[in-house]
Chains A and B, each alone.
Chain A
Amino acid sequence: MMDKIDSQHNPLHNPLHNTPHNHIRIQENDFNVGDEHTALQQDAPSIGAIVTFTGLVREFTKGEDTQLFLEHYPAMTEKVLNNIVKQATQRWGIISTRIIHRIGYLSLGEQIVFIGVNSPHRADAFAAATFVMDFLKTDAPFWKKEITPSGEVWVEAKDSDASARKHWLDNTEKTL
């Protein structure tokens, strides 16, 4: 049995879950990076810096017709992403964040994930965007399955992602 994620009924679409400073959406539909960038500008018109990251479905099996299937644990996703944003907000001078993660079936080259951060200063915006993405990859309950003509395989977690997360924790210890 699989969670049916309908973008119209997804609780994360409830505007009550999103303040101007912390916008999170989990959806099947594609998103428009330009619209998200505009929204970040509108959150704070006098802002100094916006950093955005867009993750795409890359080719994982050469020459084969490939698709990804993405599943998540809705209630936990919301808690984890809110917590990551809270930590980033405590750590850097950031004004607002936008996170979008797609679920369902995605084809090669499609957009999967968007992270946008705005801040008075570029260093904070770059660092916070990287931090949010690194923790999303290791802590947010999403799972990918690769679907090719030769079969379906669930993607395995990568050590390099765990190392990226650990890097931030090591840095915290050094600064304490």
Chain B
Amino acid sequence: MVLKSAKNVAENPIGSPLMITLRYFAQLRETLDCGEETMQWQEHINTVAALKTQLSQRASHHTNHSHNHLYNDRWQKAFNGNILCAVNQEIAQDNHPIQDNDEVAFFPPVTGG
């Protein structure tokens, strides 16, 4: 699932759009029905907090499709819950920057061992 392009797409020096990879694990992966996606990097998602806000608003993004309402509500609920974020495989707080090519992962508190 990829969000629709903004009007002004940020580009890298060789002219291709700036992209980030998003990954979801465990309960979050199941709730969102998504394990991995790519998304265009844009100025307004340049921190973990901003990206979370953007993703949680996917609910309103799709509310015209009434049959999708339940599914989309899940994004909002998921990102309001207790989830952790890792940027390039290291735990990142809300103010952590997000740049071109970053791998950003969201997941619940871990339960291994």
The 8 Å CB contact of A157, one of B34, B35, B91, B108, is B108
Judged by a CB distance under 8 angstroms, whether B79 is at the interface is no
A101-B107 contact in complex given A73-B89, A141-B86, C-beta closer than 8 Å:
no
Whether the Cβ atoms of B35 and A142 lie closer than 8 Å is: no
B76-113 CB mask vs A (1 if < 8 Å, else 0) is: 00000000001001110000000000010101111111
- Alpha-carbon distance between A70 and B113 when the two chains are bound, in angstroms: 10
Find out whether the CB atom of A156 lies under 8 angstroms from the CB atom of B107.
Answer: no
How many A-B contacts if CB must be within 8 Å?
78
A143 to B110, CA, bound (A): 5
Complex contacts, A145 vs chain B, CB 8 Å: 26
Contact with B along A143-176 (1 / 0, CB 8 A): 1110000000011111001000000000000000
Q: Are B86 and A142 in contact (CB under 8 A)?
A: no
Pairs across A and B, CB under 8 Å, 18 listed:
A1-B34, A1-B35, A2-B29, A71-B25, A71-B26, A72-B112, A75-B89, A76-B90, A79-B89, A133-B113, A137-B112, A142-B111, A143-B27, A143-B111, A145-B26, A156-B111, A157-B110, A158-B111
Interface string of B14-41 (1 = CB under 8 A from A): 0000000001011101000011100000
* A143 with B90: CB separation less than 8 A: no
Q: State whether A136 touches B86 (Cβ < 8 A).
A: no
Q: Does A7 count as interface, using CB distance less than 8 angstroms?
A: no
- Using a CB–CB cutoff of 8 Å, the interface residues on chain A facing chain B are 1-3, 55, 70-73, 75-76, 79, 101, 112-113, 133, 136-145, 154-158, 161
Q: Give the interface of B toward A (CB within 8 A).
A: 23, 25-27, 29, 34-36, 86, 89-91, 103, 105, 107-113
B55 to chain A, nearest CB (A): 17
How far apart sit A142 and B84, CA to CA, in the bound complex (Å)?
13
B103 partner residues in chain A, CB cutoff 8 A = 75
A143 pairs with B89, CB closer than 8 A: no
Residues of B within 8 A of A157 (CB): 108-111
Q: A141-B105, A142-B110, A143-B27 are in contact. List 18 more A-B contacts (CB 8 A).
A: A2-B29, A71-B25, A71-B26, A73-B23, A76-B86, A101-B113, A140-B110, A141-B86, A141-B110, A142-B111, A142-B112, A143-B25, A143-B112, A144-B111, A154-B108, A155-B111, A157-B109, A161-B113
